[in-house]
Amino acid sequence: MSSDAHRDEPARDMSTWTLDQLQMFIHDAHGQQLETARVAAQGHAYNSSRPLEARRHWAKLSLLANRRMLDSAERRSARVAQQDFMLRTWVIDRLGPDDTDPDWSPEALASDTLDTLTFTPTQAAGLAEGWRDLPIEQIRELRRQKNLTAHLESLVSHLTPGPVRERLVAWAATRPLLP
């Protein structure tokens, strides 16, 4: 199957494609095509009638499509990271963690999350107090921090006690304060 044959067919139902077909398509896709493929693969991952390992393979394919979106506009990086974190957390919660695969490792996800945050919880909380008076760029950054921490409540239950877990617990407590 040539991905070029389907490149200009937005109405094509990718939810019926096999894992191999969708994977081939993702390698050549761009923009909205990647988003459509990401959603289709994620739908298969969520399908509880599929075997556990098949669901993990579909989730991995969804992550691939999502991460390929980073090749385009930089402004998408926060959205890509959020989608990545949410799906990885879902897999860890529903299908179980796997410390042999960094995508399904709670500790790796915790580290990846902390690496994307530009403020400390204390800084974010301080800025959030008067957020309406901040320049729009800072308000956007606070909103970005809020979006990038949406998965923390679920994630922290999978982490062992320690400094990383405590930092994420602090972020989870700060998140509701953000615009």
> pLDDT value at position 2?
44
Task: Report in angstroms the alpha-carbon separations of 144 from 79, 102, 120, 157.
Answer: 9, 24, 13, 23
**Can you tell me which residue has the tokens 């040539």?**
2
> pLDDT value at position 113?
98
Buried residues in 113-133 as b, exposed as e (16+ CB within 10 A): beebbebebeebbebbeeeee
Name the nearest CA neighbour of 138 among 178, 175, 82: 178
Task: Dig out the tokens for 150 from the structure.
Answer: 């949406």
Q: What percent of the chain has pLDDT over 70?
A: 91
> pLDDT value at position 118?
94
> pLDDT value at position 70?
82
CA pair distance 156, 49, nearest whole angstrom: 28
pLDDT tens-digit profile of 73-106?
A: 555 688 999 999 999 999 999 999 999 999 999 9
> pLDDT value at position 156?
97
**Can you tell me which residue has the tokens 């901040």?**
134
pLDDT above 80 (res 12): no
pLDDT tens-digit profile of 117-134?
A: 999 999 999 999 999 999
CA pair distance 145, 136, nearest whole angstrom: 14
pLDDT above 80 (res 9): no
User: What is the pLDDT of the chain when averaged over all its residues?
Assistant: 91
- What sign results for the dihedral spanned by CA atoms 61, 63, 66, 67? negative
Residues near 37 by beta carbon (within 8 Å), at least 6 away in sequence = 14, 22, 25, 26, 29, 61, 65
Average pLDDT of the segment spanning 60-85: 86
